[in-house]
Every structure is written in structure tokens, then in C-alpha cells.
Amino acid sequence: MKAIMVTGGAGFIGSNFIRYFMESHPDYLIINYDNLTYAGNLNNVQDLAGSSKYVFIKGDICDTEQVEKVLKDYDPEYVLNFAAESHVDRSINDPLLFGKTNVLGTLNLLYCLQKHWQGDGYTSKRFLQVSTDEVYGSIANLEDYFDEESNLLPNSPYSASKAGADLLGRAFYRTYNFPIIITRCCNNYGPYQYKEKFIPNSIIKALKDEPIPIYGDGTNRREWIHVTDHCAAIDQVLFGGKPGEIYNIGSGEEVSNLEMAEMILKYLGKPTDAIVKVADRPGHDWRYALNSDKIKSFFQWKCNYSLTEGIKETIKWYQENRDWWDEK
């Protein structure tokens, strides 16, 4: 049985991907390798624990000895790196942690895999680095879009650490012919997203009848994709993508932060005066928007969720899973 290793598989996107992959490819063994930091939650994958085709290993991607042991024990054909510190506010307060996990952790994975796979010339092997549109920086107008050839101009410690990881991946491809593929996705939303993130935080605040804080004037714009559509895109790129290539993954649907908060309040029947504008964070990017023509033309991939139906479904999930997010 072929094995696939997913780092950060107890987090938001990683856990959704594991669930998606198990349903789409039942003949694979999935190794979920996660250090269970604050955003990693085994409750995200508790329904998979009894499967003979699923293994959980608590581990740090920065730990060379432990990563090498997992590779030796399971010899995965594919490795997908979802493991990352990912909250911009946290990166501003603790940039060293983001550099360690996102840059050095990715470097350690590349190093261990390069040694483990090089014996057979990387035949049929793939490493997929899950990155972000934030590595491109900010767009100052409503007309432009980032494509895969756009310059990397990150503006936060988080986005800089992800850009650094992407560049290390590129270096391993050019130096060792290492079989890396990089995906850069717009903002995700959906079930199991940690409550500090903007959409779950806004939903939870609204459900508790608490004020929803919005940075600055609320005009900052984000492109949003349902996590399941992101997982479907990753699945296609993993098997059909070309090593050394980058693939943007976007929905084409963008709204301002203020519009998103108003949408959530409207669906819940709450007054919009619950929104409170607070001091902006340092270096706050104004707009992200991706040109995703490459993945659409290569794979005929498209989103199945519209933003309106996806947000409604996400709100319903948080309403029905209060035990998952509510602090006792």
C-alpha cells in the first residue's frame, strides 16, 4: 500500500485535506504528522482514528531524527507540508517562532526527504509545499492580480517566512532536481478553522452577541475559498502537477473585511452595529487577489462553492459544533 505523509494534519486545512483524500483515494495509507501546537487539534480528525489506513504521529518538522524515522518506517511516496505558524498577528509578536517553524522546519523536511528519496532518483515521488498568496505582498488597486511569476514582496514576518520556505524549495529543485511543487492559495474558510481567524472569530462573536473587531477602516480586501475547494485543487496538483512549478489557487471572489462581517451578521439576523473598528495592525496588506488561470487551464479545476453558500454552511457548522470551539 502506498503511503502519503501530511505534516500539520491536525490543523484546519491539513485535517480537511486528510478527510478529503481518504474519501477520494481509499487505497492509500495516510500518516498524519503534527506537533499539536495551539492550532493543532486531534478533535479535528478523531473520526479517523479507528481506520487501518490512518496513522497519527506527534512530531515536530524541525526534529531531524524524528522525521528521518518516519520516512524510514513508512517510506511515503508523497509528502504534503501543511505544518506552519500561520497567524499574522502572532508573527508580529513572535517572529522567531515563525522563522523556526516555517523556514527551518521546511528546510529540515527538504533535507531529510532529499537524502531519503535520492537513491531512486526521486522516481514517482512528490513533495508539495502548501504556501499562501501573502508571499506576493499587497495590491494597492482593484484591477491587478498576482500570477505565478509575480515578485515575492512579503510584508509580515508570517508571509516572509512562507516566502523563505518557497525559495528554499526552489533551491532544492534547481540544485538537486528535487520533486517539489508549490501551491499558493487565497484565504481559506470552512469547518475546523481555529477561532482566532477572522471568519470563525466573527461568527463566534456574533453567536455570543459580542462586538466584532475590524482593523482600520475595514476596507482591506481578501479573496476567499472554501477549504474543500482548496483540498480538491491540491489533490489534482499533487498527482498532475509538474515538479518545479507553482500553482495559484483562488476562487475569484473577494470582499472587504467589513463586507464579510456584515454578511455573517446578516445571515445570523444580528445588527451590523455589532462591528467595532479598532486600530490597524502594523503593515496591514490592503488587497490580495490571484490569477488562477494556470490551474484552471491545466486541470479544468473550478470551485464548487460560491462564497455565499460556503459562508452559510460554515456558519451552520459553528452553530452545530459549539462544543468544539466554546471554552468551558
From 54, 78, 158, 247, the catalytic residue:
158
Dist CA 36 CA 39 (whole Å): 7
From 34, 60, 134, 285, the catalytic residue:
134
Adjacency order of strands within the sheet including 180-185: 54-58, 29-34, 3-7, 78-81, 126-132, 180-185, 246-249
Domains annotated on the chain, with CATH: 3-193+224-253+286-305 (3.40.50.720)
Question: Is residue 158 annotated as a catalytic residue, yes or no?
Answer: yes
Dist CA 112 CA 109 (whole Å): 5
Contact, 81 vs 4, CB < 8 A? no
Dist CA 213 CA 198 (whole Å): 9
Ranges of the chain with pLDDT below 50:
328
Determine the pLDDT at residue 327: 66
Adjacency order of strands within the sheet including 187-189: 187-189, 221-226, 254-256
* Pairing state between β 212-215 and 275-278: parallel
Question: Is residue 28 annotated as a catalytic residue, yes or no?
Answer: no
Rounding to the nearest 10 degrees, give the CA dihedral for residues 270, 273, 274, 280.
140
Determine the pLDDT at residue 49: 87
Determine the pLDDT at residue 107: 98
Dist CA 136 CA 159 (whole Å): 8
Residue 38 sits at φ, ψ, to 5 deg, of -55, -35
Determine the pLDDT at residue 248: 98
Q: pLDDT tens digits for 167-210?
A: 999 999 999 999 999 999 999 999 999 999 999 999 999 999 99
From 60, 133, 229, 285, the catalytic residue:
133
What is the pTM (predicted TM-score) of this model?
0.96
Contact, 320 vs 326, CB < 8 A? no
> CA dist 71 to 50, 279, 294, Å?
22, 46, 32
Contact, 315 vs 267, CB < 8 A? yes
